[in-house]
Amino acid sequence: MKREEWKRSYKRICCLLAAIGAGTALCGCSPGNGTQAVRRLEEVRFPAEPVYKNSEERWEAERNQSLPEAFLAAYSDFSYGTAAELLKDKKENTAYSPLGLYYALAAAAQGAEGKTEEEFLSLLGYDSVQELAKDCKSSFDILYHVPNKENRTGAGEEPHTSSLYSLQIANSLWADDSLPLKEAFAGRLSEYFYTDVFQGDLQSGEAGEAMAGWVKERTGGLIQPEPAPLPENVQLSLRNTIYFYDQWQDRFSPETTEEDVFYTDDGQEIVCDFMNRENGSTGFRKGENFTASELALKNGAVVFVLPDEGVGVQELVQSAETLREALSGTNGQSVGEVVWKVPKFSYGYKAEGMKEMLQTLGLNEAFGESADFSGISDQKPLGLSDVAQEVHIGIDENGVEAAAFTEILWAGAALPQGRAEMILNRPFLYAVKNKGQILFVGICQDPVP
């Protein structure tokens, strides 16, 4: 990569991450901004990337990092189970961040007790909220990444490749003045989930602007919720954001980008820009009704799954098992030449039916007046009223940029052996991964929505 390109990419990342050091001025909550509608009760300090003397020191440190085995198993089951429920039967562009929902639900579980707690733990794959919190923190520390500008490949050289990669996870809790919030719950979320805690009049316009501003800053402006106050019966809002940016290991050349036709399931022909490449000695899988391969990012990968001709992409997401096989299976593996034709796309999606999906998967007691959140407050009734997520994702010649906003509301190299053509000119499934875990999963029905 040319020096000028490094500088442009690095500057872009630094600008998008400026919110990390925003301090109490974030969301207009400081007295100097003229509003007392929202007060900050807890302010977190995120884990910082160490300064490495050289690439060898970085490699040794990262080699010793591993996500807890219990978290890996639980999160994997959760990812495929929830994604299958949300993506199946959808006819439009979809996108979902299981990581965002998992962290939001795990944080909410810290205030649940009784049967409500049992249902949370069953869904999240743990036996105790204490172990869940401990492993979420350990995983957060490993997954969370904001580049340290001091790190270089060597003395006087360009920034390390990790400086062009960002994975920010952030949480915030917003409690209404009418809710007597337990300090132990707020402190637990701050300690284990890196959660900023605010309290104030959530039905005020100032609070609406503060909550929307928090999400906008934490997602680099990709997601901008309407700055509106919460409904009168809502007393608590838990917000999670995910921001991800990474470059392709080998970026697509803009000179090879050409217009071509994308064929939708309903027979439409859409002209859009396709990125083109041919890779030799590349892994791919020919499974039942699909071909899958992945493109490496500098710090992760994007898995693309192309259904066979005549097979609808929805057939691959009808169950957790079919989705797992499509995205992470091992059957039908081969190595050979892979011809890539990938449409550039950028779209946003607001997940529908998330509350119903969670109820289908067994989280029922948490919704409504029978919920037990006595770990949050002694006030009753206090139950979940809604769970929602908004995602934005874009892929171009440089790489991937994606963000997610989740909200929970409480109310009262080998020899070639074959060839694969990843000509993604019809609806396809994809997943963005980091450290082997799914960050975002979606279906592209139309690259030019």
**Structure-block tokens of residue 100:** 């965002």
Q: How far apart are the first and last CA of the chain?
A: 32
Nearest Cα neighbor of 82 from 431, 323, 364 is 323
Indicate whether 220 belongs to any domain. yes
Classify each residue of 276-303 as buried b or exposed e, where b means 16 or more C-beta atoms within 10 Å of its C-beta: bbebeebbbbbbebbbbbbbebbbbbbb
Nearest Cα neighbor of 270 from 10, 449, 404, 19 is 449
Find the domain containing 399 and state its range. Answer: 3-72+97-247+348-410
User: Would you tell me how many other CB atoms lie within 10 Å of the CB of residue 188?
Assistant: 19
pLDDT at 296: 94
Indicate whether 170 belongs to any domain. yes
Query: CA–CA separation, 434 vs 166, rounded Å?
Result: 11
CB burial class (10 A; 0-12, 13-18, 19+) of residue 258?
A: exposed
Residues 243 and 205 in one domain: yes
Residues 317 and 376 in one domain: no
Residues 219 and 195 in one domain: yes
Indicate whether 315 belongs to any domain. yes
Backbone φ/ψ region at 213: left (φ over 0), alpha (ψ -120 to 50), beta: alpha
With a CB cutoff of 8 Å and minimum separation 6, the contacts of 255 are none
Report yes or no: 199 and 177 within 8 Å, Cβ to Cβ. yes
Residues 358 and 427 in one domain: no
pLDDT at 41: 87
- CATH code for the domain of 438: 2.30.39.10
Residues 41 and 107 in one domain: yes
Report yes or no: 89 and 327 within 8 Å, Cβ to Cβ. no
pLDDT at 161: 64
Residues 26 and 68 in one domain: yes
391 CA to centre of own chain: 8
Indicate whether 268 belongs to any domain. yes
Residues 432 and 405 in one domain: no
Indicate whether 88 belongs to any domain. no
> In total, how many domains does the chain have?
2
Residues 385 and 417 in one domain: no
Q: Tell me the CA distances in angstroms from 339 to 218, 270, 278, 421, 431, one per residue in order.
A: 37, 21, 4, 5, 19
Residues 168 and 296 in one domain: no
Give the pLDDT of the chain (449 residues) as one tens digit per residue. Answer: 444 444 444 454 554 544 444 443 444 443 333 346 789 988 888 988 777 777 777 777 777 788 999 999 999 999 999 999 999 988 899 999 999 999 999 999 999 999 999 999 999 999 999 999 999 999 999 999 887 766 655 555 555 666 678 999 999 999 999 999 999 999 999 999 999 999 999 999 999 999 999 999 999 999 999 999 999 889 999 999 999 999 999 999 999 999 999 999 888 999 999 999 999 888 999 999 999 999 999 889 999 999 999 999 999 999 999 999 999 998 889 999 999 999 999 999 999 889 999 999 999 999 988 999 999 999 989 999 999 999 999 999 999 999 999 999 999 744 456 788 889 999 989 999 998 899 999 999 999 87
Beta bridge partners of 107: none
pLDDT at 384: 96
Residues 258 and 238 in one domain: no
Backbone φ/ψ region at 27: left (φ over 0), alpha (ψ -120 to 50), beta: left
pTM attached to this predicted model: 0.89
pLDDT at 42: 84
Residues 151 and 294 in one domain: no
Indicate whether 285 belongs to any domain. yes
Residues 273 and 399 in one domain: no
- CATH code for the domain of 173: 3.30.497.10
Quickly tell me which residue has 């874009």 as its tokens.
Answer: 394
Q: Tell me the CA distances in angstroms from 14 to 40, 130, 257, 403, 438, one per residue in order.
A: 26, 35, 28, 16, 25
pLDDT at 13: 53
With a CB cutoff of 8 Å and minimum separation 6, the contacts of 115 are 365, 372
Nearest Cα neighbor of 263 from 45, 404, 127, 426 is 426
